[in-house]
Amino acid sequence: MAGILTSRLQPDDGTFHLMDVFRLTGPARLNGVVDVRGAKNSVLKLMAASLLAVGRTTITNVPAILDVRIMVELLVRLGCEVLYDSEDGVVSIDVPEQVGNQADYELVRAMRASISVLGPLTARMRAAHVALPGGDAIGSRGLDMHQAGLEALGAVVHLDHGYFVAEAPGGLRGTEIVLGFPSVGATENLVMASTLAQGTTTISNAAREPEIVDICTMLVEMGAQIEGIGTPELTITGVEALRPVTHRTVGDRIVAGTFAFGAALSAGDVTVRGIGLDLMPNIGLKLEDSGAVVEELSNITLGDGTAGEGFRVVGAARPLPVRVATMPFPGFPTDLQPFVIALNSVADGVGLISENLFEARWRFVQEIARLGAKVRVDGNHALVTGVDSLSGAEVEASDIRAGAGLVMAALRARGVTEVSGIDHIERGYENFVAKLRSLGVDIERVEKRDVLSFE
């Protein structure tokens, strides 16, 4: 072959590869019951928090997603013994007296949430070497607040061969931290670090997402002293040591919201089990603004037989546009923004969305435009003019929520839509295809040949 070029690309000459795509035939309505397990953005941090206590910590209600497997690998490389039952949703982590202190580049690159071992390792092992996450499809996402907070707690932080290194040979000590922005990741790392610091730490302008409340609750169960949980002002009094516990992960409000918006935009009727609307302020209201009927369901039996919360969404025949500005909790979550664009793109009128958290979350817009959506982006605003119906096309997921957003938009698209980049979706949604099929959608995962591209 060397030096000889044929006029056509050949399947065996390195220009093609095989990839899996989701192939969906629309239009389709979401109808039925869907079970939602624990939140990705909580469970990964709960797993990191286990490093703070020697012994076996057990986490339940764990979703079967790729990111959990990556976190298992990270904990194993740190020296923990981890048992993961993905069917029953249980992760059991045996943490030894001495754990390693390095989070490798290949893992952090695959999953940015790996940086949540930074706080626990600095607190307990007095040193952490965590690879810098690097580029991200939804924005720059700095680590400056993680760094400034750890430095205030007495750690010395520097960069070494692409690694963020934090060292505190004499241990951390309590301090006052004021966050410039209620960062979820920085709040979590700094709370975890403070639990074993000497003295009292206050964190002002802290994030207060349900996932933060979940991790603080688990830390308290482990013996940590934290006041102000669920408020922007956290006070943590350091203790000598924490003990391992068994903890149930809070339900995933973003996965729940995904199916809820799917019902609202497809004139569907979906009962979501596993999380109550009290953890989703604003979301129920926005669904109602779209003309959907939303009903709270308390004390119901969940898929795993336990008692819990849920809600039902019955979508309007054609949704009305909704106006949304993304904000830290209790504001409207940025992670549901693509679903609002999807809903507005088939709504009867014009809807405005303002994205205030991630500047690069508009990559989704180029893709949904391939389905015929009319979206105009200006700075951090997107103006969406609803059309009667979208038309199926080949589209690519650039991140987890963009991918799931494209699948939901495809419910209102005539014909076949193929979504590539599904690894992104599987990072955060368990059994996505099976769940959609059980809700009545004609969707399958198929293998496809693709020309290699180098952007």
- Per CB under 6 A, residues contacting ligand EPU are 41, 44, 113, 139-146, 181, 183-186, 333-335, 357-358, 400-401, 428
Distance CA 274, CA 399 (A): 24
How is the beta sheet containing 90-95 ordered, strand by strand? Answer: 81-85, 90-95, 55-60, 246-248
Angle at Cα 227 formed by Cα 221 and Cα 229, nearest 5°? 75
Cβ at position 141, least distance to ligand EPU in Å: 4
Cβ at position 448, least distance to ligand EPU in Å: 25
Q: In the 8-state DSSP scheme, what is residue 31?
A: E
In the complex with ligand EPU, the residue whose CB is nearer, 141 or 323, is 141
Q: Check if the beta carbon of residue 347 is closer than 8 Å to that of residue 264.
A: no
Cβ at position 4, least distance to ligand EPU in Å: 46
User: Beta strand pairing status for 442-451 and 374-378?
Assistant: unpaired
Angle at Cα 408 formed by Cα 71 and Cα 27, nearest 5°? 145
In the complex with ligand EPU, the residue whose CB is nearer, 334 or 344, is 334
Cβ at position 333, least distance to ligand EPU in Å: 6
Cβ at position 307, least distance to ligand EPU in Å: 27
In the complex with ligand EPU, the residue whose CB is nearer, 314 or 340, is 340
Query: Would you list the DSSP string of 137-171?
Result: TT-----HHHHHHHHHTT-EEEEETTEEEEE-TT-
User: Beta strand pairing status for 390-391 and 413-420?
Assistant: parallel
In the complex with ligand EPU, the residue whose CB is nearer, 320 or 357, is 357
**Backbone φ/ψ region at 149: left (φ over 0), alpha (ψ -120 to 50), beta:** alpha
In the complex with ligand EPU, the residue whose CB is nearer, 69 or 318, is 69
Q: How far is CA 283 from the centre of its chain?
A: 16
Spell out the residues 6+ positions from residue 271 whose beta carbon is closer than 8 angstroms to its own. 32, 33, 34, 297, 310, 311, 312
Cβ at position 83, least distance to ligand EPU in Å: 23
How is the beta sheet containing 350-354 ordered, strand by strand? Answer: 324-325, 350-354, 381-385, 374-378
In the complex with ligand EPU, the residue whose CB is nearer, 28 or 340, is 340
In the complex with ligand EPU, the residue whose CB is nearer, 283 or 314, is 283
Spell out the residues 6+ positions from residue 364 whose beta carbon is closer than 8 angstroms to its own. 338, 341, 398, 399, 401, 402, 405, 406
**Residues labelled catalytic:** 136
Mark out the alpha helices in 329-431 (DSSP H runs): 337-345, 363-369, 400-410, 422-428
Query: Would you list the DSSP string of 204-264?
Result: ES----HHHHHHHHHHHHTT-EEESTTSSEEEEE--S-----EEEPPB-HHHHHHHHHHHH
Distance CA 17, CA 14 (A): 7
In the complex with ligand EPU, the residue whose CB is nearer, 23 or 401, is 401
Cβ at position 401, least distance to ligand EPU in Å: 5
Distance CA 13, CA 314 (A): 51
Cβ at position 133, least distance to ligand EPU in Å: 9
- Select the residue whose beta carbon is closest to ligand EPU and give its number: 185
CB crowding 110-126: b at 16 or more within 10 Å, else e: bbbbbbbbbbbbbbbbb
Distance CA 108, CA 114 (A): 5
In the complex with ligand EPU, the residue whose CB is nearer, 254 or 287, is 254
Cβ at position 357, least distance to ligand EPU in Å: 5
Distance CA 407, CA 417 (A): 8
* Three-state DSSP class for residue 75: helix
